[in-house]
């Protein structure tokens, strides 16, 4: 359900940029922040997975 909220905000920024209320940079800032949030959220899980795979391979 929260992904729909993120998509809705992105569509809102796109709509506002198309009508000229805000600049296109605002949409870019939102996308960069969204990607950064998901990267920060899943990066520790990726590190743990890589370490577990390396440990399993050496045993």
| 16 half-sphere exposure, CB direction, 13 A CA radius | 15
Per-residue pLDDT of the chain (59 residues; tens, 9 = 90+): 577 888 888 999 999 999 999 999 999 999 998 888 888 878 888 888 888 988 888 76
CA distance 42 to 35: 11
CA distance 41 to 3: 14
Q: Does pTM surpass 0.75?
A: no
Q: Report CA-CA distances (Å) from 27 to 15, 22, 48, 53, 55.
A: 10, 9, 33, 38, 42
Beta-carbon contacts of 45 under 8 Å, excluding residues fewer than 6 positions away, are none
């Amino acid at each position: 359900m929260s992904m729909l909220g993120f998509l809705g905000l992105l569509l809102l920024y796109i709509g506002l940029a198309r009508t000229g209320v805000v600049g296109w940079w605002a949409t870019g800032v939102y996308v960069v922040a969204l990607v950064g949030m998901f990267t920060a959220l899943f990066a520790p899980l990726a590190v743990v997975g890589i370490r577990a795979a390396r440990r399993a391979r050496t045993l």
